Structure 1
Amino acid sequence: NVRLHGFWAVIPVYVSFLPTAGASLLKGTRRICGTLLGGIAAVICILANPGNKAAFFCEMILVVFLGRLSQFDSRVGYAGYVFSLTWFMVGFSSLLTSETKEEMLFAALWRFVFTTCGVLITSFSSCFIFPEFAADKLDRASARMLGAVSNKLVTTLDSFYHQTKALVGNDGCSDDDEVPPTPMSDDREEFGVEGFQSMAERASLLDDAKMETIVFGKILLVHDVTKRVLENQKLLNQVLRDGLVLYSSLVLSAKHLHDPLASQTLSPLLGSIRELSKAIKTSADRIVSCLYDSGSTPGMLEHLPDDVHVKLQECAYNFGAFREEWIEDVMTGGNRLQGMRGTNAVRLYHTVYALAMFAERWNTLESRLHNRNAPVELVDAQLQQQQQQQQQQQQQQQQQQQQQQQPEPAAQRALM
């Protein structure tokens, strides 16, 4: 049996030995499942229609259709191809050879046994002899993305802060003994390309990393930080997209800060912009170091002080409150933006909105990677913001109802 069927153990070594342990496990598991299901389907067809070529032709069409259709499901993939191949190898042997039913059944069984042995050998070699884990690659790719986003935004925020402060002449903002940053550069296209390349790289590692987490998570070969990174890949993509939006908005708004009213309007937010830049830098340095370490050093994120979370939430709250005041001023016909060009007003509004969204999104990501609840200060600030929004909505509804009721008496008097 080994001499006749042993080559089925060699094939998985060629097709399932892949660069990462997760990829080898995933493809090997799919090969085992496809071999098992294809062999069972072939045995059923042999027992139902022994030697019937017309029936086998119809069954072949059905099996090929099902195997090809299942390949389009990312959860099945390679298993669909192996399912069809195994059915052909086992099923057509009943038409092309003179073997008995028992011999064909044993051939299918030995094929499954040796395929499983080959997959086990390949998986063991990939995991323990040549260990290269997709989960570690995912950590490093996520760290590179967060580092690139934070570096780009910190530099841009500092440039925007110094440029606005120079135009406003605001001496009330806290000064650091730092050399003002270089002028802001417009690298939106390059930044966008790098960001979406990072998305594609991390998406290609997701399935393999999930497989490693399932198999090795219980024996502590995959750290908790890696599991959180895997669970929050969607949030990481949102942080990247919000960072791209914020960077583009800052670059465009910086070109129009020479409008005196524009720079004066943003002057109350200079302190929050500066604090946001510092908080992002502190947070990013700690998170990136932890992800490059893959969480193997315990407590790296636990040393991140709570005031970073508080500063991030305070900045998000300040930006949101400023935006709400701006909207209220426009709705009530105030003169706060009087004299500013409409396009400049829209750009500045979008910049403030992008600042609030990014600060909130980054704070959420940090909290999830840290695996802790938000401090009490953050919860209180969120509750206050929600209450203010509800009060504003109620006031707007009351004003609309009053405006709808006022024309009715005048119309009635006109009719009389």
Structure 2
Amino acid sequence: MFVDPAQERAMRRALALAARARGETSPNPVVGCVVLDAAGQVAGEGYHAYAGGPHAEVVALREAAGRAEGGTLLVTLEPCDHQGRTGPCTEAVIEAGVRRVVYAVADPHPVAGGGARRLAEAGVEVEEGLLAAEAERVNAEWLTCTRLGRPHVTWKFAATLDGRSAAADGSSQWITGPEARHDVHELRARCDAIVAGSGTVLADDPRLTVRGVHRHDHRLTPRRPLRVVADTRARTPLTSRVLDDEAPTLIAVAEDTDATALEGRVAVVRLPRDDGGLDLTALLAELRERQIVSVLLEGGPTLAGSFVAAGLVDRVVAYLAPRLLGAGPAALGDAGVATLAAAHHLEIDDVTRIGTDLRITAVRPAVETPTRPVAARRET
């Protein structure tokens, strides 16, 4: 199908705008928008900068003003048709006199979705699917959470080229260089919660906080993702740095565990057991109830293996250092795979050199969305 080069350029610009606010809009999606006037020239652009703020379409239409009439609006996510903290974007589009709307990905939200049909019923030409794969990647966290009803999970680890996360003596600081470690903080700043196991807390006493990262709009308030410790037996020491005041913390323990000491110090949630450990599906459900959209899984081959075995990892970010150890713990523990044929398959999404190290990002295979017009619903 023919794609108008001007519209493709505009959608790529909308995707770049959406990406600016990654980590800032939760529990809302990231959305970018560009308005072309009737002559095909850029008249306005914008993005959803924070939850509760104006949506991308509204920002772009305000900038376009009267030039939007008879023009084309390109947006990374289907315009909403829901009255929430802000009004329906569909009404703003219709009132502006936009002739055509092109959106990349349909809104799967059961309440806010359906905007395309509302626009089509009002006589607006609507098309879905332009640069859908790219839009899926930019908004992967929110789309996964909305479609599956659980937070999107990214597993991050650092290892040597032979896959060791620590030396034989247990030392692991630092496998990667300072540039890679700063990049991890960038990764943390884009998530809502950071999850680690009690083994990691006991061995490394990590802070699990964001440091040295500025928000996209240069606000001074630092990102403070929820720190979550999967601690089946309530072993987290009361002197642990994850219990300081730098960020909120939640300790998840088994429902039959005595966690009296922790409950007097920090928020504790009790969860069912599963094969001796915590029920990870229940853990993610609890986080979803707390409006957590994106989770960064850090530290611990055992916990990582359990998440992978349960099919709960959506993205893997591996930082590989040009070192060889030959011994020491592997980055991933038992993931429920006994044969090569049963391996968990991913697609390479990005390979980038970070200082002296390599960052490899892999994701679950994507399902492409075809480009297609949207017809108006027939009344019966």
Asked if these proteins are the same fold (TM beyond 0.5), I'd say no
Name the TM-score, length of structure 1 as normaliser: 0.23
Larger Rg: 1
Structure with bigger strand share is 2
Name the TM-score, length of structure 2 as normaliser: 0.25
